[in-house]
Amino acid sequence: MEKQFLKKRIDAAAGRIPADMVIKNCKIIDVYNSSIIEGQSIAITDGYIVGIGDYKGKHTIDAKGCYAAPGFIDGHIHIESSYVTPEEIGRLLVPHGTTTIIADPHEIVNICGLRGLNYMLDAARGTKLDIRYMLPSCVPATPFENAGAVLDAERLKEPLKDERILGLGEFMNYTGVVEADDDVLDKLLLAINEGKIIDGHSPALVGNPLNAYVACGIRTDHECSTEEEMLDRISRGMYILLREGSACHDLRTLLKAVTPDNSRRCLLCSDDRQPETIFSLGHLDNHLRICVEEGISPIIAIQMASLNAAECYGLLDRGAIAPGLRADIVLLDNLHDFKVNQVFIKGEEVAREGKYLPQIQRSDISSVQGRFNVKNFSINKLKLKSRLKNVHVIDLLPGGVVTAKGTAEIVLNEEGEFMWQPGQDIAKIAVVERHRGTGNIGLALLRGYGIKSGAVALSIAHDSHNIITVGTNDEDMALAVEELVKQGGGIILIKNGEIINSMPMVVGGIMSDQSGEWVSEKLAQIHKDAYEELGINKEVEPVMTLCFMSLAVIPEIKLTDKGLFDVTQNAFISIEAEEPSPCFAKGGVKFGTIKRNYK
């Protein structure tokens, strides 16, 4: 800061000169004292708050009795999971009071490497939403799948020095941390020596393995699904991110463990937030409504949505309404439904009555467009053979992210190939490698999806985002894969050899370059056709469920391009239920009981 600007700020704070802007007639949420300040104005100069008191300004805004809260901060979100670009997510979130997000771009980085990171950094400039990034720590997320990039410690070194990067993203390889794998230690040391935060991801980890995980400096976790997990981690000094997304709904459960004594270690986050959810429920304003419904004080809830996140991530210039901080301010009707009237970011009005006001500047997507390298694919590679009729199946649990390891007796033809049966609700699932031209195809069986005709395919498959397809017959599954590649990725539905619906997602195969409204409407149409044309179980979210079927860090079993993987054993397993299989990990990692809340 130059001296003249510092002097101007001091003079405005002292009242010697008028502030650039004054917001009057508001009830100010004081997150430091957990109180409300009435009868005072907020003075703003050069985008920063200079004072709370009796001020005059060049421009005055009458808040008409609204509550003035600090701008909301989402502590952990994957922009890519919204299926829209950074510029568009800003347009969608800011009218709901969100002024800052901590984003982990590991989806696009798993596909495009550092080119993907650079695209996300560039695109963040096109929105008033302040997007701060964590550097993806696990690319690929595990060694049990092929991703589009491999980022070792050496490749992470320079990006981690970038001031736009707050720290190291969620460390999903908790087994590698606990076992002190050499390459894992190299990554952790980078963040430790740069003095940057490390995000955690340790579902169901307990006891000494959890101690080992926290001892290396990992500070947060957004994977808690029970009160016990949450309190266990808080007692070890971690910040807990209470998640309420489009897929995972842990907030109400975890709020039961929030008290005035531990609330300052709690943040709010969405992890993922699809446009339809934003349009129907909102963003962190929705989290705040849930907090109040569950008996949390409105001011404590706002602390969790602002000050706590700012302190956790070292954003010392925001998180409260106080002199010297950024003028990120949200005007609210009340502290019950948290209806947002106006939003200011660095003193600029950026949203009013649900509308985003600035012009959007979109970045060039050519560096991350397409990204498909599928080789040696044919319908014959979809044939699933077994020597035994008794097989392992991936059992969907409600919501479909966490799965169970089940067994079933299937029907085989004379060649020993799986034959889909209409009354059994067991369908073939395949993961087709799309980054390196390996020709890998992982095959397994999925129970509970309910598909009765045709096939679904998509290129959104966490975290390596290979192509995943489920169907009742090989012909439709093969066509779904081929047509998906032609359209540049996204989602496609096939029935009787014809495309019945599709949504291209040309940014890395995981994000659309269209508006949030277009994405929401298109996804709704796809859901309708999935239920009505393909007969998918209406209790199952047909797209997002499949997105997580290859995520080999979430129990119990998943499918990658390398095969069927038992997460709890850290081992590939045969589809044949009586077939023993080798374990690829050293073992010794202790897990607790894991539950999830989905809708």
Query: What is the C-alpha radius of gyration for the chain, rounded to an integer number of angstroms?
Result: 25
Which residues touch 544 (CB under 8 Å, ≥6 apart)? Answer: 246, 247, 274, 400
Query: What is the bridge-based pairing of β-strands 35-45 and 220-221?
Result: unpaired
Give the residue, 217 or 370, on which the prediction is more confident.
Answer: 217
Per-residue pLDDT tens for 520-544? 999 999 999 999 999 999 999 999 8
Handedness of CA 177, 151, 466, 579 (dihedral sign): negative
Q: Is 6 left (phi over 0), alpha (psi -120 to 50) or beta?
A: alpha
**Can you spell out the DSSP letters for 128-169?**
SSEEEEEEPS-SSSSTTS--S----HHHHHHHHHSTTEEEEE
Per-residue pLDDT tens for 94-133? 999 999 999 999 999 999 999 999 999 999 999 999 999 9
Handedness of CA 355, 356, 358, 361 (dihedral sign): negative
Task: Measure the N-to-C terminal CA separation of the chain; round to a whole number of Å.
Answer: 48
Q: Describe the strand order of the beta sheet including 455-458 as a list of residue ranges.
A: 403-409, 390-396, 441-447, 426-432, 467-471, 455-458, 490-495, 498-504
The total of other beta-carbon atoms located within 10 Å of residue 302's CB is: 29
Q: Is 58 helix (H, G, I), strand (E, B) or coil?
A: strand
Which residues touch 521 (CB under 8 Å, ≥6 apart)? Answer: none
Give the mean pLDDT of 310-317.
Answer: 98
Distances (CA, A) of 156 to 127, 188, 406: 26, 11, 39
Distances (CA, A) of 468 to 254, 280, 341, 543, 574: 32, 28, 42, 10, 19
Per-residue pLDDT tens for 336-352? 999 999 999 999 999 99
Look at residue 400 in the predicted model and tell me its pLDDT: 56
The total of other beta-carbon atoms located within 10 Å of residue 168's CB is: 26
CATH number of 3-65: 2.30.40.10
Instruction: Tell me: pLDDT of 36 over 80.
Output: yes
Look at residue 402 in the predicted model and tell me its pLDDT: 83
Which residues touch 195 (CB under 8 Å, ≥6 apart)? Answer: none
Per-residue pLDDT tens for 373-408? 999 999 999 999 999 999 999 999 876 578 999 999
Instruction: Tell me: pLDDT of 173 over 90.
Output: no
Instruction: Give the containing element (helix H, strand E) for 303.
Output: helix 298-304
Cα separation, 48 vs 1, in Å, equals 13
Look at residue 593 in the predicted model and tell me its pLDDT: 41
Cα separation, 47 vs 189, in Å, equals 36
114-124 and 86-93 are packed helices; what angle lies between their axes, rounded to 10 degrees? Answer: 40
Q: Where are the domains of the chain?
A: 3-65, 69-315+323-353, 379-572
Q: Is 489 left (phi over 0), alpha (psi -120 to 50) or beta?
A: left
Handedness of CA 370, 371, 377, 383 (dihedral sign): negative
Tell me, rounded to whole angstroms, the distance of Cα 483 from its chain centroid: 27
Look at residue 557 in the predicted model and tell me its pLDDT: 96
pLDDT-derived band at 596 (thresholds 50, 70, 90) equals very low
The total of other beta-carbon atoms located within 10 Å of residue 418's CB is: 22
Q: Determine phi and psi for 592, rounding to 5 degrees.
A: -95, -170
Which residues touch 16 (CB under 8 Å, ≥6 apart)? Answer: none
Instruction: Give the containing element (helix H, strand E) for 323.
Output: none
Instruction: Tell me: pLDDT of 594 over 80.
Output: no
For the full predicted model, state whether its pTM sits above 0.85.
yes
Question: Does 69-315+323-353 carry CATH code 3.20.20.140?
Answer: yes
Q: Is 409 helix (H, G, I), strand (E, B) or coil?
A: strand
Give the mean pLDDT of 548-574.
Answer: 92
Which residues touch 575 (CB under 8 Å, ≥6 apart)? Answer: 384, 386, 391, 392, 443, 444, 445, 564
Cα separation, 243 vs 48, in Å, equals 30
Q: Is 416 left (phi over 0), alpha (psi -120 to 50) or beta?
A: left
DSSP state, residue 363: P
Residue 109, both tokens: 């980085």
The total of other beta-carbon atoms located within 10 Å of residue 569's CB is: 17
Place of tokens 């038992």: 566
Instruction: Tell me: pLDDT of 552 over 80.
Output: yes
Per-residue pLDDT tens for 415-452? 999 999 999 999 999 999 999 999 999 999 999 999 99
| Torsion (CA) 139, 140, 141, 144 in degrees, nearest 10 | -160
Which residues touch 409 (CB under 8 Å, ≥6 apart)? Answer: 389, 390, 391
Tell me, rounded to whole angstroms, the distance of Cα 120 from its chain centroid: 15
How long a stretch of residues is the chain?
599
DSSP state, residue 215: H
Give the residue, 444 or 555, on which the prediction is more confident.
Answer: 444
Which residues touch 121 (CB under 8 Å, ≥6 apart)? Answer: 133, 162, 164
Instruction: Give the residue among 429, 365, 329, 468 at the shortest CA–CA distance from 43.
Output: 329
Give the mean pLDDT of 191-214.
Answer: 95
Which residues touch 586 (CB under 8 Å, ≥6 apart)? Answer: 179
Average pLDDT, rounded, for the chain:
94
Percent of the chain with pLDDT over 70: 96
Distances (CA, A) of 540 to 31, 83, 326, 372, 530: 40, 19, 43, 28, 10
